[in-house]
Amino acid sequence: MSAHDSERYGELISKLRDVHLLESTSELLSWDQETMMPPAAVDHRANQLALLASLAHERATAKELGDLLESLPENMLDACQDANLREARRSFARSTRLDAKLVSEIAETSSRAQHAWAAARQDSDFAQFQPWLEKMVKLMQLKADCLYEDDMGCAWDALAEEFEPGMRAQNLANLFAPLRTDLCKLLDDIRGSSRQIESTVTKIKLPISSQENMVRAISEQMGFDFNRGRLDRSAHPFCGGSHYADVRITTRFSGDNFLDALGSTMHEAGHGLYEQGLLAEHLGTPMGTAVSLGIHESQSRLWENQVGRSEAFWLWCHAQLPKFFGEAFSDFTAPDLYAASNRAEASLIRVEADESTYNLHIMIRFDLEMALIAGDLSPEDLPSAWNEAYCEYLDVEVPDDRQGCLQDVHWSCGLFGYFPTYTLGNLYAAQFYDQACQELGDLPTSFQNGEFHSLKTWLNEKVHAQGMRYSAGDLCREVTGRSLDSQGLIRYLRRKLEPLYGIPSLGVDSSPGD
């Protein structure tokens, strides 16, 4: 790189970091809105977020930034610089297609819509939220019109590009079809088994303060650094913050099901470990940013499921429980807790779903939001469409809106195109964990001893430190040597659930595919 190019590249990084400062400030205000902000502040907060969104958009689309991106050479020999330039150009191209007024309106409306959603969910009354959903759908349709490109198959693709670059609805449909068949077969096998798992352990009433102490300690054991992070409560668990040294995770608690808080916290701590694992020297640039939401979800789901629902984890965790709950679990063995954490049953709530049914919840949302954005489903008809889908996919009746179409915050935030990343995360997690076991050896014995550092370090090096150097698909191939498929997840689920439920093995190959 010439001295002139080096100077201009430095200017580019400086401008990207200025945009990041504004965006990360918005993220902190959004975190505060969900955790600490008094309800009466919602109008002013909406205006604050709208202004910050406008300022960030103004800087992200500035002519000076465009000139820098155009003037720099295609290949600067350094892989990190090339990745930063490639992704900055992609982001600039998308940002310049969006009108500043639309960006501001989306930010303001989503802030108000989240408040309306929380109230409607509390009252289990979709009618309260319906006008806001209608506004958000219209805004997302306008956004999709701005961002649509010739290689996209539908408007939804333009929105999904923000979360999983390169993924298309048709690709997902092709990936989900065999996965749904295999999951439904597994669920039928579980339902047909004479061996069922007791749920007594999930009905023990426990002090919220003790649960909070427990999940905080386990997050720390996983490697979450509380000098660079926080754990708080929110209606819907999430991971936020502003950068690698300020990572905010939230969880929620139930008085009589500690597994809910444990799973939610390990999930969000997995996100937090990714954020804390991004390299400091790349702060504010694509190389200091997670590659996609699917990869991000792979980290949260891996810690929640492959680790937190493993037999080895419970052999360790069972011995820790008296520190927090005294004799509350004295009648339960580690195998009892392991079985309870893997109890499979069709249910209503996505975040409480077991691994065998979770992805069916995602497929329902994928179908519905595709229809909303395409205009094939009117927002007012969402509750009935939702209820029908739950009967079809999971054979469960939805009793009310709170347990139905109001259970997720995502659409109030305008996060259309986001939901499939959860299933992509499960698929990536299965392949990453397989590879980690091959390279690190006996991980279960480590977990049984409460040692998670080797897995965290492996993920830091293989995934987190890579930033946006690779696309999500290329990262999967780089780490595992294989393209993404659904069979790794099915093998993992069968290996675990067949013995627990006494299901005759289908003889699914336990080794990774090609």
Q: Return phi, psi of residue 329, to 5°.
A: -110, 20
Q: Return phi, psi of residue 337, to 5°.
A: -70, -40
Q: Is 268 a catalytic residue?
A: yes
Check if the beta carbon of residue 179 is closer than 8 Å to that of residue 359: yes
Q: Which of 87, 164, 212, 268 is catalytic?
A: 268
Question: How many residues are given for the chain?
Answer: 514
- Contacts for 488 with CB less than 8 Å, ≥ 6 apart: 427, 430, 431, 434, 512, 513
Give, for 390, the enclosing helix (H) or strand (E).
Answer: helix 382-394
What span, in angstroms and rounded, lies between the C-alpha atoms of 427 and 99?
36
* DSSP assignments along 73-124, one per residue: -S--S-HHHHHHHHHHHHHHHHHTTS-HHHHHHHHHHHHHHHHHHHHHHHHT
Closest CA to 178 of 473, 487, 394, 497: 487
Measured between alpha carbons, how far is residue 216 from residues 145, 370, 449 in Å? 44, 38, 18
Residue 227 amino acid letter: N
Check if the beta carbon of residue 176 is closer than 8 Å to that of residue 170: no
CB atoms within 10 A of CB 382: 24
Rg (CA), the chain: 23
CA torsion sign for 80, 86, 92, 94 is negative
Residue 455 amino acid letter: L
CB atoms within 10 A of CB 374: 14
Closest CA to 413 of 31, 20, 3, 4: 31
Partner residues linked to 250 by β-bridges: 232
CA angle 210, 29, 258 (to 5 degrees): 20
Q: Return phi, psi of residue 324, to 5°.
A: -110, -30
Check if the beta carbon of residue 224 is closer than 8 Å to that of residue 272: yes
Could you give the residue numbers annotated as active site?
Answer: 268
